Amino acid sequence: MAERANRTVSPEEWSHNGLPFTRRALEAVCLRVSRGLPVTLPLLVLAALVLYPVAGLVASSFFDDKGLTLANYREVLSPRFLNIMVNTVTLGIGAAVLATAAGTIFAWLCVCTDLPFRKTFTILHIAPYGLPTIAAALAWIFLLTPKAGLFNRFLMWLFGLESAPFNILSMPGMIWALSVHLYPWAFLLTVAAFATMDRSLEDAARMSGASEFKTFRKITVPLVAPSIAAAFILVFAISIEQFSIGGTIGVLARIPILPVEIYRSIAVYPPEWGFATTLSVVLLLVTSLLIYAQNKILAGKSFVTVTGRETTDRTSLGKWRWVAFAASSIFVSFAVLLPYVGMIMVSLSPVLGADLTLNNFTFKHYVYIFTEHPFVFRAIRNSFLLAFCAATLLAVFTLAVAVVVKRTQIAGRGVLGYMARWPVAIPGSVIAVSLLYTYIRPPLQLIGTIWILLLAYVIRNLPYAYSAAYAGLSRVDPSLEEAARIHRTPPRRTFLRIIVPLTIPSVAAGWMIVFINSLRELPASLLLFSSTNETISVAIYEMFEEGAFQLPNAAALMTLISLATLVPAIIIRLRARDAG
Partner 1 sequence: MELKNLRKVYGKTVAVDRVDLEIGKGEFMTLLGPSGCGKTTTLRMIAGLIEPTDGEIRVGGKLLSSPGAKVVPPEKRNMGMVFQSFAVWPHMTVFENVAFPLHNVRMAKDAIRTRVHAALQQVKLAGLEARYPSDLSGGQQQRVALARAMAVEPDVLLFDEPLSNLDAKLREEMRFELKEIQRRIGVTSVYVTHDQAEAMAISDRIVVMSNGRIKQIGKPSEIYDNPRDPFTAEFIGLANLLPGKLTGERTVVVADQQRLEIEGCVAAGAGAEVLLSIRPHHIKIESNREDSAKSNRLIGIVEKAAYLGDRVDYRVMIGERVLRVQTEPGEFHAEGTKVALLLPPDKISVISALLQ
Please report, as ranges, the residues that interact with partner 1 according to CB under 8 A: 198, 200-201, 203-212, 214, 218-219, 222-223, 302-303, 305, 307, 312-313
| Nearest-approach distance from CB 317 to partner 1, in angstroms | 15
Q: Which residues, in sequence order, are CB contacts of 488 under 8 Å at separation 6+?
A: none
Q: What is the Cα–Cα distance from 552 to 227, expressed in whole angstroms?
A: 40
Which region, left, alpha or beta, applies to residue 298 given φ > 0 means left and ψ of -120 to 50 means alpha?
Answer: alpha
Query: 212 or 477: whose CB is closer to partner 1?
Result: 212
Query: 80 or 214: whose CB is closer to partner 1?
Result: 214
Q: Which residues, in sequence order, are CB contacts of 396 under 8 Å at separation 6+?
A: none
For residue 68, the cross-strand partners are 63
| Nearest-approach distance from CB 203 to partner 1, in angstroms | 5
Query: 211 or 360: whose CB is closer to partner 1?
Result: 211
| Nearest-approach distance from CB 318 to partner 1, in angstroms | 13
Query: 313 or 578: whose CB is closer to partner 1?
Result: 313
Helix (H) or strand (E) holding 68: strand 67-68
| Nearest-approach distance from CB 236 to partner 1, in angstroms | 24
CA torsion sign for 269, 274, 277, 283 is negative
| Nearest-approach distance from CB 303 to partner 1, in angstroms | 5
Query: 203 or 372: whose CB is closer to partner 1?
Result: 203
Query: 158 or 207: whose CB is closer to partner 1?
Result: 207
DSSP string for 329-364: HHHIIIIIIHHHHHHHHHHHSSSTTPPP-TTT---H
Query: 202 or 534: whose CB is closer to partner 1?
Result: 202
| Nearest-approach distance from CB 108 to partner 1, in angstroms | 18
Q: What is the Cα–Cα distance from 40 to 415, expressed in whole angstroms?
A: 10
Amino acid at residue number 439: Y
Give yes or no for a contact between 132 and 538, defined as CB atoms under 8 angstroms apart.
no
Q: What is the Cα–Cα distance from 325 to 222, expressed in whole angstroms?
A: 26
Q: Which residues, in sequence order, are CB contacts of 263 under 8 Å at separation 6+?
A: 243, 247, 429, 432, 523, 526, 527
Query: 211 or 408: whose CB is closer to partner 1?
Result: 211
Helix ranges, 113-215 (H): 118-126, 133-144, 150-159, 171-196, 200-207, 212-215
Burial (CB count <10 Å: 0-12, 13-18, 19+), residue 248: buried
How many other β-carbons are positioned within 10 Å of the β-carbon of residue 12? 8
Give yes or no for a contact between 331 and 102, defined as CB atoms under 8 angstroms apart.
yes
Q: What is the Cα–Cα distance from 417 to 261, expressed in whole angstroms?
A: 32
Give yes or no for a contact between 310 and 470, defined as CB atoms under 8 angstroms apart.
no
Amino acid at residue number 525: S
| Nearest-approach distance from CB 309 to partner 1, in angstroms | 8
For residue 63, the cross-strand partners are 68
Query: 224 or 471: whose CB is closer to partner 1?
Result: 224
| Nearest-approach distance from CB 116 to partner 1, in angstroms | 16
Helix (H) or strand (E) holding 67: strand 67-68
Query: 183 or 194: whose CB is closer to partner 1?
Result: 194
Query: 209 or 270: whose CB is closer to partner 1?
Result: 209
Query: 78 or 200: whose CB is closer to partner 1?
Result: 200
DSSP 8-state assignment for residue 351: S
For residue 113, the cross-strand partners are 315
| Nearest-approach distance from CB 194 to partner 1, in angstroms | 15
| Nearest-approach distance from CB 383 to partner 1, in angstroms | 47
Nearest to 518 by CA among 418, 419, 380, 416: 380
| Nearest-approach distance from CB 150 to partner 1, in angstroms | 45
| Nearest-approach distance from CB 305 to partner 1, in angstroms | 7
Amino acid at residue number 481: E
